[in-house]
Structures are given as structure tokens and as C-alpha cells.
């Protein structure tokens, strides 16, 4: 038996921020040696809301380079681009035809994003979770490390796989494997710096609401200086009246590699004037190695392309046989 397989992905839209890092990439890196990993830059998902064609390729390379800069190890992981493996689009169509429309209409993220798009809601936005299911199911994935916000999409993925198996497979011969979500408690939901009740998001119009992984030290300083706090003295976790305080302490705890107990003690008597510089310094120091590595990767001509080429090969070796299996189960069987 080989190692269990992990699949995950991030969209190349906007800059990768601390929420993406702490909720997703950091967990990929931490467990990677125990798994056979596929990390995808999901550029087909990126066009489900309006996008800039001129920026797509550069943004896609940037996300792939950041995966590597954050410590993804090519000894145990393949890094590739979704649109390079056509099986993703093809399986999406096959899954579309067995997915009840109301399952998609019930997705919270769809409802939220549809409101923001006003009258311009594309069919792709509704279909987004089916494409995500195809991503995962093509690789007979065991585990999917994501942030809390993706839990509903993973449940849907399992429902779609179960429906495919029920309709076109048998108990002894399931067509698709049901994946398990992998969601860590800490960092699973990093909140906005300007509103501790909303999650940090690429689509927030305010740059001040998030820290991007490639933000230079001066920018981090400015953003932390101006981030929302409260007027209570002494800093505490888990006070529902103080969401910003909880979020900032959690960020400090994770980025400084401390336990909740030690941060609780260290910060119990602090005011914001004392805590903010500490958080800034910790954040700048934690991001520096990632930023240095990113510059190195981008400076080496052809390196990233060679990684993505190899990634595509490894991905196709698994995705294409899965697609063939689903097509056979559905009755596509004329040999040529
Ligand atoms: P996206 O930015 O939507 O492409 O998300 C990529 C990954 O980052 C997914 O696994 C998300 O669950 C995770 N993620 C995005 N925003 C946050 C956040 N504020 N806190 C924790 N995880 C997040
Ligand atoms: N929908 C995910 C997000 O916004 C990104 C994604 C696409 C993904 N396909 C995936 C995550 C497959 C995990 C597995 O965060």
C-alpha cells in the first residue's frame, strides 16, 4: 500500500494572504511527507467571477511559486496547473449531469458570491463546486486539507461521488473514492484586520483588511498599525465581545510557534501599544524566509515551468485513468 493521497488547490485571483497560508498551505507543508500530494493552481475556478486575462498567467505562476516558497517539497508533491490537465473539465461535465441543481443552489459560497456579482452571475459560478469535486475525485483522493470555509464543498464532493457510485457502480466496484476533509482548528479561519467578525479574503475591497504573503515589512507595519482593536486593557482569547483580540492573539500564537497558554500569560497584562510592535516583528520575521525563497524561484529562468511540466505529467498519469473509468461506467465504450 502506498501513502494516502492528498489533493488541494488555491485560485490564482488576487494575492495569497495569511488566511490562505495558515488555513491551507501551512497544513499542506506540515504533513506532506506522510502523503502523496497533488497541489494544484485552480485557474479554471479563477474565471467563475470576472477576471483580467492579462493577469491570469502571471497570477498562476505566482501562486505556484508561492507553494514552493512556503516549503512544498517536490520529493513528495506534484505542483501543477488545473487548465493543463483537460480531465478536470471533462469530468466536470460528466458530474454535472448527475448533480441535482438544488444541491448547487444551496451552497453558501455561491449565494454570497452571487450577491456580489449582482446581475452578472455566470453559470460557472453555480457550477464551481462541481469543478472542485472533479479536481478531488480524479485523483482518488484520501484527504483534502482546506480552510473551514470549504467544508460544505467537500460534503458536496462526497455526495456527488456517492451518487455516482449508487447510480453507476456497485458496492464491490465503486466508481469514485469518497475523500475526507482535513481541517485544522487553529488558523482554519483567519479574520479580517478591519473587522474581526469577517474572514480575511482576497475579495475584500480594503487592502488594509489582509496581510499578503509578499507584503514588504513597511506594508505589514502600516497594516498592523491601523488594524482594528478595542479599548479594553489586557488581551484575552475566546471573548466573543472581542473578535479582533482573539484573531490577533491567534495570529501571534501561530506565527511565533507558541502555545495558547504561553501567549495567554505573556499578553494578559499588555495593552495594544505594546502588543502591536510584537505582532509586527513576529509577522515580518515569519514571512521573510518565504519572500526570499520566492524571489529565488522567480529569478531562475525556466525552473517553474519545468516543475509545472513534471506536475502535469504526474497528474495526468492518475487523472486520465480515473476519467476513463467514469466514462466506461456511464457507457462510453465504443473502441476506436
Ligand atoms: P481561496 O483564496 O478561496 O482560493 O482559498 C484557498 C484556500 O485558503 C482554501 O483552502 C481556503 O479554505 C483557505 N482560506 C481562504 N481564506 C481563509 C481564511 N480567512 N482563513 C483560513 N483559511 C482561508
Ligand atoms: N474552492 C477552493 C477555495 O476557494 C479552491 C479549490 C478548488 C480546491 N479545487 C479544490 C480546494 C480542490 C481543495 C481541493 O478555496
Sheet holding 5-10, edge to edge: 77-81, 36-41, 5-10, 143-145, 180-182
- Nearest residue by C-alpha to atom 16 in ligand 1: 19
Active site residue 276: no
Pocket flag, ligand 1, residue 10 (CB < 6 Å): yes
Active site residue 225: no
Taking the model in full, what pTM does it have?
A: 0.94
Closest CA to 98 of 334, 330, 332: 330
Burial letters for 242-252: b for 16+ Cβ neighbours within 10 Å, e otherwise? Answer: bbbbbbbbbbb
pLDDT tens for residues 135-194? Answer: 999 999 999 998 888 999 999 999 999 999 999 999 899 999 999 999 887 767 899 999
Q: What is the pLDDT of residue 113?
A: 87
Residue 39 has pLDDT above 90, yes or no: yes
Q: Tally helices (H) and strands (E) across the chain.
A: 13, 5
In total, the chain counts a number of residues equal to 336
Active site residue 177: no
173 CA to centre of ligand 1 in angstroms: 34
| Count of CB atoms situated within 10 Å of the CB of 229 | 18
pLDDT tens for residues 270-329? Answer: 999 999 999 999 999 999 999 999 999 999 999 999 999 999 999 999 999 999 999 999
- Nearest residue by C-alpha to atom 6 in ligand 2: 9
C-alpha to C-alpha distance for 314 and 37, rounded to whole angstroms: 10
Confidence bin at 115 (pLDDT 50/70/90)? confident
8 CA to centre of ligand 2 in angstroms: 6
Q: State mean pLDDT over 3-21.
A: 95
Question: What are φ and ψ of residue 162, in 5° steps?
Answer: -65, -40
Q: What nine digits make up the cell of 77?
A: 508533491
Closest CA to 227 of 268, 196, 270: 196
Amino acid at each position: 500500500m502506498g501513502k494516502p493521497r492528498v489533493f488541494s488547490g488555491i485560485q490564482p485571483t488576487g494575492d495569497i494572504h495569511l488566511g490562505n497560508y495558515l488555513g491551507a498551505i501551512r497544513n499542506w507543508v506540515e504533513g506532506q511527507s506522510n502523503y502523496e500530494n497533488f497541489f494544484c493552481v485552480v485557474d479554471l475556478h479563477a474565471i467563475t467571477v470576472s477576471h483580467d486575462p492579462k493577469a491570469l498567467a502571471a497570477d498562476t505562476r505566482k501562486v505556484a511559486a508561492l507553494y514552493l516558497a512556503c516549503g512544498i517539497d517536490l520529493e513528495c508533491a506534484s505542483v501543477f496547473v488545473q487548465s493543463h490537465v483537460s480531465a478536470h473539465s471533462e469530468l466536470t461535465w460528466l458530474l454535472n449531469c448527475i448533480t441535482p441543481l438544488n444541491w448547487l443552489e444551496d451552497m453558501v459560497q455561491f449565494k454570497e458570491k452571487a450577491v456580489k456579482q449582482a446581475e452578472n452571475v455566470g453559470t460557472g459560478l453555480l457550477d464551481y463546486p462541481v469543478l472542485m469535486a472533479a479536481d478531488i475525485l480524479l485523483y482518488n483522493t484520501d484527504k483534502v486539507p482546506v480552510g473551514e470555509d470549504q467544508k460544505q464543498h467537500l460534503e458536496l464532493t462526497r455526495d456527488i461521488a456517492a451518487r455516482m457510485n449508487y447510480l453507476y457502480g456497485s458496492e464491490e466496484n465503486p466508481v469514485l473514492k469518497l475523500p475526507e476533509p482535513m481541517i485544522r482548528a487553529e488558523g482554519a479561519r483567519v479574520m479580517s484586520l478591519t473587522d474581526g467578525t469577517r474572514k480575511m479574503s482576497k475579495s475584500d475591497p480594503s487592502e488594509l483588511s489582509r496581510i499578503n504573503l509578499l507584503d514588504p515589512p513597511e506594508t505589514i507595519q502600516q497594516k498592523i498599525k491601523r488594524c482594528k482593536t478595542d479599548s479594553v486593557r489586557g488581551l484575552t482569547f475566546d471573548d466573543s465581545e472581542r473578535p479582533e483580540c482573539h484573531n490577533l492573539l491567534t495570529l501571534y500564537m501561530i506565527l511565533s510557534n507558541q502555545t495558547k497558554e504561553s501567549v495567554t500569560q505573556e499578553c494578559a497584562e499588555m495593552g495594544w501599544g505594546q502588543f502591536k510592535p510584537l505582532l509586527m516583528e513576529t509577522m515580518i520575521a515569519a514571512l521573510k524566509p518565504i519572500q526570499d525563497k520566492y524571489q529565488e524561484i522567480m529569478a531562475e529562468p525556466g525552473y517553474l515551468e519545468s516543475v509545472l511540466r513534471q506536475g502535469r505529467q504526474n497528474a495526468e498519469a492518475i487523472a486520465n485513468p480515473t476519467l476513463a473509468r467514469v466514462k466506461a461506467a456511464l457507457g462510453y465504450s465504443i473502441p476506436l
